Amino acid sequence: MLNVKFKILNMNSQKLESIIDRISLKFKNVSVYRKLTFKSNLLGGVTIDWHHLDNWNSIKKKIEQAVLRISNEVNDSSKYPLFVQTYSSHPFVDIFSTMCSKEIAYDNIRKIIDNSDVNRFKNKNILYLGDSENDNPAFRKADVSIGVNSDERLNPKLDCQYLINFSQLPKFLMNLLKNNFNFSEKLL
């Protein structure tokens, strides 16, 4: 739902491919996940991930610095720079074709709900679940925000009202479903 011109996506998709090639050559043990755009099937983003490594925390800084350096070299004072998202404790870096955030997604969903002809969605609270710092803008806007601790090795700085462990998530979601999606602290 980002309003980005095809020309920019196409150009930055090529930059992302270049970054993938360079990172893959430099770090044989990282995983690279391509994020394709919905309509044009262009590369809209990439995640460089090393959470599967036993020593992931000890190489975090080295990988992040390399990704930032390579990204800056590929951008090379471009009129349409890529957007790099790092995290305080998560073992991955996201690079996007354009500035994007969970806040933008939240705002777009809020508009859809507010403009909906379905009255059962009108004036309802929005509950937002997330597990990393990139969720913070949406946490701050949501009526109810719940952070999920997805890994004991991580300590992200989450700006949410409630925090649950990943192991509690299925039970919470089932309780929420049974309660007709009406949130209450008792459900946690």
pLDDT digits (tens, 9 = 90+) for 147-177: 999 888 888 899 999 999 999 999 999 999 9
Is residue 1's pLDDT more than 70?
Answer: no
Give pLDDT, residue 2.
Answer: 52
For the segment 4-12, the average pLDDT, to the nearest whole number, is 79
pLDDT confidence tier of residue 113, bands split at 50, 70 and 90: confident
pLDDT in tens, 24-83: 999 989 999 999 887 677 898 999 999 888 888 888 999 999 999 999 898 877 788 898
Is residue 105's pLDDT more than 80?
Answer: yes
Helices 56-75 and 6-26: angle between axes, nearest 10 degrees: 130
CA–CA distance, 31 with 42 (Å, rounded to integer): 19
The CA distances from residue 65 to 68, 93, 152, 174, 182, in Å, are: 5, 10, 24, 41, 44
The pTM of this model reads 0.77
DSSP letter string, 113-174 = HHT-S-GGGTT---EEEE-SGGGHHHHHHSSEEEEEE--TT-------SEEEEGGGHHHHHH
Average pLDDT, the chain: 88
Is residue 111's pLDDT more than 70?
Answer: yes
pLDDT in tens, 122-139: 677 889 999 999 999 999
Give pLDDT, residue 121.
Answer: 67
